[in-house]
Amino acid sequence: MRRPLRRLGAVIAVAAVLGLATSSCATRQTGGMRVVEAAEALRRSVVCCTELSGAPRLPLPRTPTSVDIGKTSASFEFAGRKAFFVLYELPAYATPYSIFVTSQAVGTIDDVALFIPRIALYDADFKQTRYFDESSLRNRGNDVERTVFVNPSNRGDRYLAIYGADLSASIHRDYSQVTTQTIAAAGLFLTLHNGVDGKSTLRTSPGGTLQIETSGLGPAPK
């Protein structure tokens, strides 16, 4: 009788592990929750300044950098609409380079939030020289991305602002997901397969996570 009891104990242990995993997924924030939080944070935020020239700025990253856009970010009224943003100071032009911007979707598989970035470049007097809206973004799964090239003709660009689009929209689409999980308990290995067909909602959000990466720039001068 010992072997059946041992196997029963293993099955109970597996069930406990699965229960913990299910509980963990249940507590994960959905895209809808994140949108509500970001919208409320933006509503409560006080714009940093009346002119963008007075906004806080950062040097353009030379290494891949993750940037959280949200309640700890500055806000500013772009064309009369308040948005969270980040402002970068570009290095003095020497050679052509590119800036790769990716906005990463967050949430759960069936409820996703995505920050839709708009990108504007300015000269030394903060006169806008170039502008890229959401129509120029490329899709990578649920993420979106844009590459900004700085060439000799753009040597007058000195600042780059990334801010949220004033959109409030959602997209519904079907998805299929197959997962395989191997669990070991008391010397027993179980492989579990699970397939799900469902509908996912992708929501635009005033906040999110950006990945910034540059190419063609050397290390920052010391």
Rounded to 10 degrees, the C-alpha dihedral 68/221/132/126 comes to: 100
Residue 71 lies in a domain: yes
Whether the predicted pLDDT of 36 surpasses 70:
yes
Q: Please state the length of the chain.
A: 222
Closest of 157, 141, 152, 150 to residue 100, by C-alpha: 150
The one-character DSSP state at 152 is G
What's residue 171's pLDDT? 63
What's residue 182's pLDDT? 75
* Full domain range(s) for residue 162: 31-170+203-215
Closest of 84, 138, 70, 144 to residue 114, by C-alpha: 144
Residue 22 lies in a domain: no
Residue 80 lies in a domain: yes
Residue 21 lies in a domain: no
Better-predicted residue by pLDDT, 141 or 178? 141
Residue 4 lies in a domain: no
Whether the predicted pLDDT of 200 surpasses 80:
no
Residue 87 lies in a domain: yes
Predicted confidence band at 196 (pLDDT cuts at 50, 70, 90)?
low
CB atoms within 10 A of CB 34: 23
4 contacts: CB under 8 Å, gap ≥ 6:
none
What's residue 20's pLDDT? 36
Rounded to an integer, the average pLDDT of 80-104 is 97
Q: How many structural domains is the chain composed of?
A: 1
Whether the predicted pLDDT of 50 surpasses 90:
yes
CATH number for the domain spanning 118: value is 2.60.120
Residue 25 lies in a domain: no
What's residue 172's pLDDT? 52
pTM: 0.76
Better-predicted residue by pLDDT, 66 or 173? 66
Whether the predicted pLDDT of 2 surpasses 50:
no
What's residue 185's pLDDT? 64
Phi-psi region of 80 (alpha: psi -120 to 50; beta: other; left: phi over 0): left
- Of the candidate ranges 22-26, 129-133, 166-170, the one whose mean pLDDT is the lowest: 22-26
Q: Strand locations in the chain, DSSP E? A: 58-59, 65-69, 74-78, 81-89, 97-104, 106-108, 111-115, 117-122, 128-132, 138-140, 143-150, 159-164, 170-185, 188-205, 208-215
Spatial contact of 122 and 158, defined as CB atoms under 8 Å apart = yes
What's residue 166's pLDDT? 80
pLDDT digits (tens, 9 = 90+) for 71-85: 999 999 999 999 999
Backbone angles phi, psi at 36, to 5 degrees: -60, -45
Q: How far apart are CA 103 and CA 84, in angstroms?
A: 14
